[in-house]
Structure 1
Amino acid sequence: MDTTRVAVVVEDEDDIRGLLSTILSQAGFDVFEAATGAEGIELVRQHDPLVTTLDVNMPGMDGFETTKRIRSFSATYIVMLSARTEEIDALQGLEAGADDYIAKPFRPRELRARIDAMLRRPRHRVDGGGAETEDGDEWREHRGLRLNPAMRVASVDARDLELTRSEFDILADLLASGRRVRAKSDLALMLRGEEPGGGEFVSESDARAIEVHVANLRRKLGESPTDPRWIETVRGVGYRLTADQA
């Protein structure tokens, strides 16, 4: 079986593009480079990368639009990189479909750590003995919503849902937790592949990113936050599933 990991780097500045390629190559990726959004989209189509890094401020098609177009056909992990440090820019990137947003200048070690965290996200059900399994028959259901963690598919009222990786993982986590409240900080750590309780730092921006992901989930589910069918907000804390219908 081919275990080659592929990455695509989309960056218009030669020196930064070279640095990103070096970092990813050292992490074990075969790297393909693009200087424009259009070139990056074509490389993603050709090589189906595990990870794609995208600059925001590119001439022509910017990183936000490039992300939206890639998301229309690919589930690659997308990390956006930008000199823009305003929270609204990070939120716009997440809304476009990015999995993470890192401000420039960045430290190579930070980029490696963030990518490693994304790749550690739980993808399979864990059985009672602690071993991972890919049981495709494991469906989680709630009020017309169906999700299969192993198959990475979800539907509502027989309508397939097109979710980003982050949206899918949050929804799967909430379905597994039932009526137990999941704090925004816990969900942020889950997306980073970390467990709560170890003194991990979760910033306000991380918590706000969870709010954006949940808002996007609700939009795709077609529910109102004021009268939710599936995801209930626990004010000041986080989220949980709504109660089962009587």
Structure 2
Amino acid sequence: MGDLTGRTALVTGASRGIGQAIAIRLAAEGAAVIVHFGTDDSGAAATVDAVERAGGTAFSVRAELGVDGDVETLFAGVEADLAGRPLDILVNSAAAAPAGPLGVTTRAEFDHLFAVNVRAPYFIIERALPLLSEGARIVSLSSVATRMANATQASFAMTKGAIETMTKTLAVQLGPRRITVNAVAPGATRTATNGVAFDAPGLTEQISGMTALNRLGAPDDVADVVAFLASDAARWVTGQILDASGGLFLGPRI
């Protein structure tokens, strides 16, 4: 156990993929982790089990995001788990997947994207403020989709652009409490959930060829960056968007 011993973290969307890796990584550094999940009971249980088998402490809280009462449901569980302790780390990892390009995405899909990817983290942070300790850490997940023109992810990229603007604004607002607010922008990251998509012939090679470090990302690559931002080593970093894409689409290889 290490740098985060004695601290408590809430990680949304921690039942699988990047969120799961973040929860396990923060626990490895000593944090007690509240594992939020929407519908994947078995995935959340797997996250808690992985933390406990490694000697850490974790609790799971179920709350579907993007629906009425989502934040209230989440924090009823969070406050029960905290039992009066402060919340030291908040990681907004939960997100709805890209729905489709302009002309394909329906109004309902568009509204759902913004409800989960923008509205939920905004009001989760607002609701967490009375619980957050002085010098707490807030980290939200963005995406390299905000700096790459990808017509198939227009609505998704818009939600992540909102997260980046929120990050900078809240860093200024919460700075007097020594609360840092940052975002991490992953690129193409292969997880157990999306792995099938990368099995399309030639896709992995194509994306790797556009990446400076010449491979797809893994959840642990992103989790390590989040753990840094949650640590004391990042006390002077706030209002920043850290690209954790391995250098995806930086420019042509000469």
Same fold (TM over 0.5): no
- TM-score, normalization by structure 2: 0.39
Structure number with higher relative contact order (C-alpha < 8 Å, ≥ 6 residues apart): 2
Q: Which has the larger radius of gyration?
A: 1
- TM-score, normalization by structure 1: 0.40
